Structure 1
Amino acid sequence: MDFKDKTIIDFVNELSSNSPVPGGGGAAALVGSLSAALSNMVFNLSINKKAFTTLKDNEQRSVIDALDVCERKAKEFLDFIDKDGEAFSTLMKAYKMPKDSEEALKVREKTIQEGLKSAMQVPLDLLKNLVAMMSYIDIAATYGNANVISDAGVSAILAYAAIESSVLNVMVNLNFINEINKDEVIKTCTDLLDKSEKLKKEIMLKVYNKI
């Protein structure tokens, strides 16, 4: 799959079609990439500006490091568009496997379970990466150029939207997986969602105070 290489209009058209791929997982990944890209813009418009030179050395370093991380995340999140599509397509193929004998049914069920775990793992990995990135968005809101500080806020809003979307995509697959500690996965998602919500509120408070 090569969804990340399509034009914006082509991706939107495919998202709008009757094909289940790309779907919500791919959209969440794209939104996550947009979030990272916006923080990159804030960093790039802050580094070497007059206000930046007044920061302490460790503060300047945190901004430069955050830029490096967000640049990588913007690209990595785009990769998740195809990862999500591939996982879902593999799962759909499993559901179409023959079930005309007891042996075929066993093979089909095993393949479906493997597909469900993969379809759950992709958004779970995206979720963890998105939440980790929010601490870098916080750096953008703390030290970013005041003229583009609203973009740090939009970055946080988009990241949180992608996070909540990823939780949904984890849960919808988790419900059908048999051999897994569901409580553990749910707790992980809940903890990450709570953490990201708190970070978003802290970031938005900083942003609004600077507008």
Structure 2
Amino acid sequence: MTFKSLPVEQFLANLAAKQPTPGGGAAAAIGASIGSAAASMAAAYTQRKKDRVSGAADRAESLIAVLEVSPLLEAADDDAVAYADLQRTWNNDSDNISVEEKAAIEARALAIPTKILEACHSRILQINDFLPHCNPNITSDAKVGIHQLAGAARAAYQTVLVNSPREEEKIRLIKLLKDIREMEDEVLKLDC
């Protein structure tokens, strides 16, 4: 069974259990999907007649398409598979794994949380650009999306670090996190 088809309560029980998966990468992906869904709802409510006239509805529809949660839910499953493969390289059976295969497995384990972080950054940028056009009665849900995605990005980064990225990759990802923090701080300022 995939994580995306589990009831929320069961996913959380699995996450809390003493078992290797789901782990931090899957938690980051699920958190990102929750943030995307919250912001998508705000866009769905930006479909009034005046939103159509102003063009805000078109922006909302574009945002809804970008915030599709399926890729993030698939990333949760992919992370679990990648981690299981990575564990296989640590077992006694690792003698049957070639150096090339081990390198490919390690690269995949690093790539998945990296893509989650990048997806969070991209989605936050687009939600942030949408905020001035959002139905003002539901802007808070778009902001919830930003905050949830920001947390998911930081969680994904922790999973990246476990997979020993190159120094230049860490620097690049930290830059994305700083960019996210600036947007998140700006959203928080608007609420003061």
- % of aligned pairs identical? 22
* Partner residue, 1:23: 23
Code of the aligned partner of 2:60 = V
Aligned: 1:168 with 2:152: no
Change over 3 Å in CA distance of 1:32–1:49 after alignment to 2: farther
Change over 3 Å in CA distance of 1:49–1:202 after alignment to 2: farther
Structure 2 segments unaligned to the other structure (5+ residues): none
Q: CA deviation at 1:68?
A: 1.6
Say if 1:62 and 1:139, in contact at 8 Å, map to a contact too.
no
What is the aligned-residue RMSD (CA, Å)?
A: 2.1
* Partner residue, 1:6: 6
Structure 1 segments unaligned to the other structure (5+ residues): 176-181
* Partner residue, 2:141: 151
* Partner residue, 1:188: 172
Q: CA deviation at 1:109?
A: 5.6
Structural mapping, 1:1-211, within 5 Å: 2-50=2-50, 52-53=51-52, 55=54, 57=55, 59-70=56-67, 72=68, 74-98=69-93, 104=95, 107=97, 111-174=101-164, 182-206=166-190, 208=191
Q: CA deviation at 1:54?
A: 5.3
Q: CA deviation at 1:205?
A: 3.3
Which string of whole-angstrom CA distances, capped at 9 and with x for unpartnered residues, describes residues 26-62 of structure 1?
A: 0110010011101110011111254x2452x3x4432
Return the TM-score normalized by structure 1.
0.82
Q: CA deviation at 1:115?
A: 2.4
Say if 1:137 and 1:203, in contact at 8 Å, map to a contact too.
no
Which string of whole-angstrom CA distances, capped at 9 and with x for unpartnered residues, describes residues 47-97 of structure 1?
A: 1254x2452x3x443232112211x2x121111110100000111112113
| Secondary structure, aligned partner of 1:163 | helix
Return the TM-score normalized by structure 2.
0.90
State how many pairs are aligned: 192
Say if 2:44 and 2:60, in contact at 8 Å, map to a contact too.
no
Code of the aligned partner of 2:62 = D
Q: Quick check: which has more Rg, 1 or 2?
A: 1
| Secondary structure, aligned partner of 1:80 | helix
Which string of whole-angstrom CA distances, capped at 9 and with x for unpartnered residues, describes residues 97-150 of structure 1?
A: 347xxxx38x46654443222111100011111101112211342221222221
